[in-house]
Structure 1
Amino acid sequence: MDFIINYFGQIPSSHRSAILVGGILFFWLIEGAWPLFRFGYNKWKHAGVNIFFTFTTILVNVPLAFLLVRCSDFCSQNSFGILQWLPALPTWLYALIGLLLLDLVGAWLAHWTQHKTKWLWQFHIIHHADQQVDTTTANRHHPGESLCRFIFTLMAILIAGAPMWLVFLYQSLSVVLSQFNHANIVLPRQLNSILSLIIVTPNMHHIHHHYVQPYTDSNYGNIFSIWDRILGTYRVLPQKDIVYGLDTHPNPEENTAIKNLLKIPFGTYRPPVGK
């Protein structure tokens, strides 16, 4: 644990970039060899749109990164947050509790709120409108959504009272797990049954990208599957029955042009067509 604390407490920006790029390339190769769906699409063109939004996310997060450090330092210096109030614990248990809290507030709650708040949902549509979900979809977020998620990450740090090494560990795991659970792959049923008790698997998260409710409003988790199971948002659907996209935005031309995607949040709200 000392190595993890020291490494993530001082992780270079180049290493964080390598985790992002390496994860995309790794799962890109795997889904190319064993795809769940064989989409009839230009994989490079599709990736180009999603990578554009990856860069906009970076442009939002990098200038604001100092706020993460400030929040974490505030918690440590003022003994603020749940982790700061706990009695002495083994480091691994301390880290696990911290990751669970950061994932609950920074990922699950942020995601749930975007689905339940109309004006936030307008920004989140860009992510769900992808009709060929693969590992690059993980980073397909409108700049407005990226800002929203950043705010929830700040809230998570304050609530958890997380030290900076734990924040960087959480963000690294979040990136890799998001790329994993969006990948166009399917796990064997028995392996998925075991893994999905702990982490969010592709089989589980693909259901969240089904085009119609209530499946769209389910399986919000990013790292840990426990929150959906506890909070009643866990759903099951055979992988072969999944249709990606949204019933409110079925036009492929609208969903693949960057200019159109950037404008969607400022258009008229479209209620779900059916359940």
Structure 2
Amino acid sequence: MEAIYNYFETIPSSHRSLLLVSGITLFWLLEGAVPLFRFDYKKWKHAIPNFFFTLTTIVINFGLAFLLLWSADWVKANDFGVINWLPEMPLWLYVLLGVLLLDFFGAYLAHFVEHKVKPLWMVHLVHHTDHKVDTTTANRHHPIESVIRFTFTLFGVFVVGTPIAIVMLYQAMSLLFTQFTHANIKLPKTVDKAISYVLISPDMHKIHHHYRLPYTDSNYGNIFSVWDRLFGTYMYMEREKLVYGVDVFPDEAKNTNISQLLKQPFQPYEKPTLSADSEV
């Protein structure tokens, strides 16, 4: 564990870029070998807007990275944050708690709030209006959302008290998990279900991408499934019933157009209320 900790404490930017590219490549290939759905689409064409938003996310995170580094150094120097106030513990437990709690603030809480606060939901819509969810959907986030997610992660660093090694490890795990859970891959149902008791599985997350409530407002987690189970936001449905997208934004042509997606948060929209016919 000490070797892993030391590696992520000084991980080069080139290694982080390699992780991004390697993850997309791996899951892209797996999607061709064991697809969950056989989409009738040109994969590269579908990926263009998603790669565009991946690039904007990289630029924003790179531009704000100094804040993350400063915050992580400050909490370490001042012995600040939850994991630093606990009794001394083994390094593996210190790292596990740090990643677990960052997953709550940077992923679960951010995601939950985006679904509950209308202006933030309008921004988050860009991610949900992909009609062909695959591994490229993972980083399909409007630039404004990239800033929102970064802010929640920064807040988490202060509250949790994570040094930069744990922050970098968390971000690497978060990246790989979001690529994995969005990937259009078909695991055996028993395997997927078993994974979901501890970690977010592909089927578990894709329920969140179902086009109608109440499923859209469920399964917010990114790495660990404990938060959805603890806060009662876990839901299950059969994978065969999944329909991707958002029911009030059904125009797939607009939802694959970069300029339209950039304007999407500013469109008039009323989130539908939950009703009996919302069930599948």
Alignment TM-score > 0.5, same fold:
yes
How do 1:124-143 and structure 2 match up within 5 A?
Answer: 124-143=124-143
How do 1:62-101 and structure 2 match up within 5 A?
Answer: 62-101=62-101
1:19–1:172 CA contact under 8 A, matched in 2: yes
Q: Using the TM superposition, name which of 212-221 and 262-271 deviates more.
A: 262-271
In structure 2, distance between residues paired with 1:103 and 1:251: 33
In structure 1, distance between residues paired with 2:50 and 2:126: 10
In structure 1, distance between residues paired with 2:266 and 2:203: 32
Q: Aligned-residue CA RMSD in angstroms?
A: 0.9
1:118–1:269 CA contact under 8 A, matched in 2: no
* Matched letter for residue 211 of structure 2: Y
Please state if 1:218 is matched with 2:218.
yes
User: In the alignment, which residue of structure 1 is the partner of 2:181?
Assistant: 181
* Matched letter for residue 198 of structure 2: I
Deviation at 1:193, TM superposition (A): 2.2
Deviation at 1:78, TM superposition (A): 1.2
In structure 2, distance between residues paired with 1:229 and 1:180: 20
User: In the alignment, which residue of structure 2 is the partner of 1:208?
Assistant: 208
In structure 1, distance between residues paired with 2:87 and 2:225: 27
Deviation at 1:33, TM superposition (A): 1.0
Please list the CA deviations of residues 97-130 of structure 1 after superposition, one character each: whole Å capped at 9, or x if unmatched: 1111000010000000000000001110000000
Deviation at 1:272, TM superposition (A): 2.1
In structure 1, distance between residues paired with 2:193 and 2:253: 37
User: In the alignment, which residue of structure 2 is the partner of 1:24?
Assistant: 24
User: In the alignment, which residue of structure 1 is the partner of 2:102?
Assistant: 102
* Matched letter for residue 201 of structure 1: S
Please state if 1:5 is matched with 2:13.
no
Partner of 1:79, secondary structure, is coil
Deviation at 1:5, TM superposition (A): 1.1
The count of corresponding residues between Structure 1 and Structure 2 is 275
Normalised to the residue count of structure 1, the TM-score between the two structures is 0.98
In structure 1, distance between residues paired with 2:106 and 2:150: 8
Deviation at 1:87, TM superposition (A): 1.0
Please state if 1:266 is matched with 2:230.
no
Deviation at 1:204, TM superposition (A): 0.4
Deviation at 1:248, TM superposition (A): 1.1
In structure 1, distance between residues paired with 2:266 and 2:192: 39
How do 1:35-74 and structure 2 match up within 5 A?
Answer: 35-74=35-74
User: In the alignment, which residue of structure 2 is the partner of 1:151?
Assistant: 151
In structure 2, distance between residues paired with 1:86 and 1:141: 35
Please list the CA deviations of residues 241-274 of structure 1 after superposition, one character each: whole Å capped at 9, or x if unmatched: 0000000100111101000000011121232276
In structure 2, distance between residues paired with 1:261 and 1:75: 38
Please state if 1:238 is matched with 2:238.
yes
* Matched letter for residue 82 of structure 2: I
Please list the CA deviations of residues 45-64 of structure 1 after superposition, one character each: whole Å capped at 9, or x if unmatched: 01111000000001111111
In structure 2, distance between residues paired with 1:251 and 1:190: 35
Partner of 1:252, secondary structure, is coil
Please list the CA deviations of residues 25-44 of structure 1 after superposition, one character each: whole Å capped at 9, or x if unmatched: 00000011110111111100
